Structure 1
Amino acid sequence: MKMKLDTTQFRVKEGHAVNLGQWPTRVDPFYTSKKDYKKRLQSQVSELSDLQQLHYASNRYAMLLVFQAMDAAGKDGAIRHVMSGVNPQGCQVFSFQHPSAMELDHDFLWRTNKALPERGRIGIFNRSYYEEVLIVRVHKEILHSQNLPDALLNENTIWRDRHQSIVDMEAHLHRNGTRICKFFLHLSKEEQRQRFLDRIDDADKNWKFSMADSEERKFWDDYMRAYPKITPERRRELKQIRKTLSD
């Protein structure tokens, strides 16, 4: 069952900075009922499972799915519902929380690089290396815990340099057969508030709530300013990949 959904409306255009406040957090439903939704999802998951088996058998490419979002946007649920029908032998999920002492003693891409998928597999990042230019940018104390030389702790250059490192890393992966798809799950500040309240009121969801989530909510505006700073680098990344395909 094919879904008639125009995905181009969700794509960030090349070279365009993104103001998240101007992007909708809801779309018109593409299903008629909850039963219809489950039927469509099951059909899509079945197709994805078939494609994953071909992907695994060919053993030529790797696929990396990157999920970024504010807290309570539904990263865990999206990954669980969409990937639940895929053979676990060909799919790996990694969630990146606060870095360990060992991770802090390596370069900022180390912990995600060692989790990259092999050829024939689908790797899923629940949060990713983009945390290093998001949460670290919002919470400067994390940056200072990374044991970097003082000369590198320059606010005028460090974020630009990290963006460039990410662009270079992704271009390198592309040249070596890893295809990357990135998803940002968008929700409004009010919707986040309501989902936090639901987690408090619903006993089955209590385990999802943390006071740290409530504290982090205070930095909403800081994150909304940090996210758009990621997207201008996309122009340079696409140009590099296009050049790779032309060579």
Structure 2
Amino acid sequence: MNLEKYKVNSKIQLESFNTKEVIGDAEKALKKLRKKISKLQNVMYAEGKYSVLICLQGMDTSGKDSLIREVFKDVNASGVEVTSFKVPTELELKHDFMWRHYIALPAKGKMGIFNRTHYENVLVTRVHPGYVFGENIPAVKSLENLDDAFYHDRMERINDFESHLAKNGTIVLKFFLNLSKDEQKSRLLRRLNIPEKNWKFSEGDLKERKLWDKYQFCYEDLLNRTSKENAPWFILPADDKPSVRLILAKILLKELKKYNFKEPTLPVKVQEQVKEFKNQLNNE
């Protein structure tokens, strides 16, 4: 599988990317990869030099929740932390737009997953600029201040943030789950048709769906402006859930192997006493 085709290395047009790829035996293949991801996380934890930040973005129903569950279910529960970012709280609005994301970052040795991310601040707020007024930014006095330059400046601040993380040992990997409008319709209808799925449905999903084209424009713009070598974006076909999970797992493993994590060795003095320690335990 050519994993490079999913990576945003140059200017892209979102419509040129497939939304569906079907890989045979994807679920079986994922089971094997999950164990490898778990082992890598254990070694990374023992080494204590790196952390991993996995950012997931996508339209409603793109499958972020189930992807997290299926890809990371074999990782030590204490080694992975998932943060879902909803509407900012009153406290969060009293800080700058990156604050709540910064305090949720994974510690060294751990994997952190952002289910929706700091990119909501140049996505949802760009589609609904009125939300920015809740931040009480002195320079923002009217909608006229919330032009393209405002959001492009925010993207530069995000690039700076991710560059800072990378320089300090956080491996940043960002995934856009590229869902088709037809598939979203099918998934929304499924939520309505299956009683136990009803709780997932929100009338707001239909309102946001009407803004599909605007969201696609905003996604394309941020993907082009914020995919960097130290924090790349990957555009994944999301219409087939088993396949997109496998693709993400493959990319994750490939990227993490570049860092050649190593378990620390015992100090020489302790190594010289290993035989003695074994004897002490065996002779109890």
Same topology, TM > 0.5 = yes
Cα distance 1:193–1:151, how it changes in 2: closer, same or farther (>3 A)?
A: closer
Distance 1:169 1:92 in 2: 20
**Cα distance in 2, alignment partners of residues 185 and 177 from structure 1:** 26
Query: Partner residue of 2:89?
Result: 100
For 2:17, the equivalent position in structure 1 comes to: 23
C-alpha deviation, 1:156, in angstroms: 4.8
1:158 aligns with 2:150: yes
Q: Is residue 11 of structure 1 aligned with residue 4 of structure 2?
A: no
C-alpha deviation, 1:154, in angstroms: 4.5
Tell me what 1:72 maps to.
Answer: 61
Match of 1:188 among 180, 196, 210: 180
| Higher Cα radius of gyration | 2
Question: Please, which runs of 5 or more residues in structure 2 have no aligned partner?
Answer: 233-284
The 2-side partners of 1:49 and 1:118 are apart by: 17
Say which is worse superposed, 208-217 or 162-171, in terms of deviation: 208-217
Distance 1:124 1:215, change over 3 A: same
C-alpha deviation, 1:30, in angstroms: 2.5
1:6 is matched by which residue type in structure 2? N
Deviations, residues 176-214 of structure 1 (Å, cap 9, x unaligned): 010101111111111101110011001221121111111
Deviations 1:63-110 (A, max 9, x none): 000000000010111111001111110100000011111111110000
Number of the residue aligned with 1:245: none
- Counterpart CA distance in 2 for 1:81 and 1:59 is 26
Higher RCO (CA-CA < 8 Å; seq separation 6+): 2
Equivalent of 2:195 in 181, 197, 203: 203
TM (normalized to structure 1)? Answer: 0.88
Aligned CA distance change for structure 1 residues 239 and 122 (closer, same or farther; 3 Å): closer
Question: Do the aligned partners of 2:162 and 2:231 also contact (CA within 8 Å) in 1?
Answer: no
**Stretches of 4+ aligned residues off by more than 4 angstroms:** none
Aligned CA RMSD, in angstroms, stands at 1.8
The Cα of 1:239 is off from its aligned counterpart by 8.5
Structure 2 distance, partners of 1:103, 1:223, is 24
1:57 corresponding residue in structure 2:
46
| 2:26 aligned partner | 37
Q: Which amino acid is the alignment partner of residue 19 of structure 2? A: T
Question: Does the Cα contact within 8 Å between 2:163 and 2:230 map onto a contact in 1?
Answer: no
Other structure's SS at 1:64 match: strand
Q: Does 1:146 align with 2:135?
A: yes
The one-letter code matched in structure 1 to 2:13 is N
Residue segments in structure 1 that go unaligned for 5+ positions in a row: 242-247
Q: 1:193 to 1:239 in 2, by over 3 A?
A: closer
2:112 maps to 1:130: no
Asked if residue 48 in structure 1 is aligned to residue 44 in structure 2, the reply is no
